[in-house]
């Protein structure tokens, strides 16, 4: 399947940024050998926005997992952007990554690649910080996304920033995220929309395991359509490679 590595001048960010896109195409091999051309035809593929963690960038899903092979088997376009240490928010000291990820990037993808614009064909997923970003997309953009998946997600960001200052540039020094749009637990409690289906997985040895249990408890109390899985596993690519395949099966 074709892999596109794209350098994009982002209006929302005000900088150059990069992303990977994998596109499954069923090619008529006889026509290809005779005419040396690919044809998308009229087909529109479902699309998954796949987000990276705090220590990663747009390349890591391609480098450390078999996402390309899994996506080709399922016939889904996968978009893997970069988002720095933004926590997928409009940063206090930095760039407007929330605007980029939630608005500009989907508009660019839909204008450039043969992807469906239907809600039922649009999904988000991510690991760690990216799991937080994927659920934030689902909870704040339910009209756009039909489902979202979090793997080892930093799902209680309000508590996380009290313990870890790596997100100071994203949220500012000693922020209070409780009750804001950056607090996923608050969004679950206050949403009046019909929210997307959610898939949540975390290893029991993961340092974010307790964060995930807190989100699971609130999601179940408020009746979200949540599929939850846990098993022995840590915060690493061996776990995420297994679970992203499971996510695609679930979608």
User: Which residues contact residue 227 at a Cβ distance below 8 angstroms, ignoring those fewer than 6 apart?
Assistant: 197, 198, 199, 200, 250
- Residue 114 within any structural domain of the chain: yes
- Residue 82 within any structural domain of the chain: yes
Contact 198, 138 (CB under 8 A): yes
- Residue 250 within any structural domain of the chain: no
CATH of the domain at 108: 3.40.50.1820
Helix (H, G, I), strand (E, B) or coil at 45: strand
Split into its structural domains, the chain has a count of 1
- Residue 38 within any structural domain of the chain: no
Residue-wise pLDDT tens for the chain (251 aa)? 799 999 999 999 999 999 999 998 754 444 445 555 566 778 899 999 999 999 999 999 999 999 999 999 999 999 999 999 999 999 999 999 999 999 999 999 999 999 999 999 999 999 999 999 999 999 999 999 999 999 999 999 999 999 888 999 999 988 899 999 999 999 999 998 889 999 999 999 999 999 999 999 999 999 999 999 999 999 999 999 999 999 999 99
Q: Which two tokens stand for residue 227?
A: 């599929």
Please calculate the CA angle 63-88-249 and round it to the nearest 5 degrees.
Answer: 55
- Residue 118 within any structural domain of the chain: yes
Please calculate the CA angle 16-19-25 and round it to the nearest 5 degrees.
Answer: 140
Range of the domain at 69: 3-24+44-244
- Residue 217 within any structural domain of the chain: yes
How far is Cα 210 from Cα 93, in angstroms, rounded to an integer?
A: 29
- Residue 171 within any structural domain of the chain: yes
| Alpha helices (runs of H) in 57-128, residue ranges in sequence order | 60-64, 67-74, 97-99, 105-112
User: Which residues contact residue 157 at a Cβ distance below 8 angstroms, ignoring those fewer than 6 apart?
Assistant: 87, 132, 167, 177, 182, 183, 184
């Amino acid at each position: 399947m074709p892999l596109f590595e794209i350098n994009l001048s982002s209006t929302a960010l005000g900088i150059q940024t990069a992303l990977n896109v994998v596109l499954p195409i069923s090619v008529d091999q006889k026509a290809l050998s005779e005419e040396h051309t690919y044809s998308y035809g009229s087909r529109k593929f479902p699309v998954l926005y796949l987000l990276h963690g705090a220590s990663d960038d747009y390349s890591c899903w391609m480098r450390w997992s078999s996402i390309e092979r899994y996506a080709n088997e399922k016939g889904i376009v996968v978009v893997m952007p970069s988002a720095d240490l933004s926590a997928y928010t409009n940063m206090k000291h930095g760039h407007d990554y929330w605007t980029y990820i939630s608005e500009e990037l989907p508009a660019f993808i839909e204008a450039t690649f043969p992807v469906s614009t239907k809600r039922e064909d649009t999904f988000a997923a991510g690991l760690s910080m990216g799991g937080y970003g994927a659920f934030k997309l689902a909870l704040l953009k339910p009209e756009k996304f039909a489902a979202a998946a979090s793997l080892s997600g930093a799902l209680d960001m309000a508590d996380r920033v009290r313990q870890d200052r790596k997100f100071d540039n994203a949220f500012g020094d000693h922020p209070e995220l409780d009750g804001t749009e950056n607090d996923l637990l608050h969004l679950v409690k206050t949403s009046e929309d019909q929210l997307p289906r959610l898939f949540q997985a975390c290893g029991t040895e993961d340092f974010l395991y307790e964060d995930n249990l807190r989100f699971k408890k609130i999601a179940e109390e408020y009746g979200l359509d949540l599929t939850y899985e846990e098993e022995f596993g840590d915060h690493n690519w061996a776990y995420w490679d297994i679970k992203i395949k499971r996510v695609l099966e679930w979608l």
